[in-house]
Structure formats: structure tokens, C-alpha cells
Amino acid sequence: MIGVLFRTEHIGSRTEAVGQFGGGFEVRLTPHIGIINDFSWNVVNGSRNNFGMVRSGINFAY
């Protein structure tokens, strides 16, 4: 059996906030098929760790 061991160390008692915000849209080609695009901005522990993410694709709603 293969086991995985995870170890965490907690030093101090600091609480940090994270967040995500963004927007997007979907264009319906038919009642069941659409093209989607969205963008989200992630705020993570300091300005040097923030990042954006763009997603696009086809949505099949059946």
C-alpha cells in the first residue's frame, strides 16, 4: 500500500483574506448550445500573488 504523508507547520496566528471577482457572458447559438467566455481576478495573500484567469468554451445544455 502506498501512503502519502502531509505535514503542516503553523507559526503565529495571522488571518489573511483571499477573494475572487470577475464576469463573463454566454452567446446562445441554439436553445441547447452556447459559447461562453469569462474572466476572474484572484486576490491571494499580497499583491505579488494575485492572478487572472480567462476561460472560454462551448456549453451543451441538455
What CA–CA distance (Å, rounded) separates 55 from 50? 17
Provide the 3-class DSSP secondary structure of residue 49.
helix
28 near 34, Cβ under 8 Å? yes
pLDDT, position 45 = 80
pLDDT above 90: percentage of residues in the chain: 58
pLDDT, position 5 = 82
Residue 52 vs residue 2, higher pLDDT: 52
Residue 7 per-residue DSSP state? -
Q: What is the dihedral of CA 15, 42, 21, 11, to 10 degrees?
A: -10
Instruction: Supply the pTM of this predicted model.
Output: 0.61
The residue whose grid cell reads 454566454 is 26
Residue 59 vs residue 62, higher pLDDT: 59
Say whether pLDDT at 62 is over 70. yes
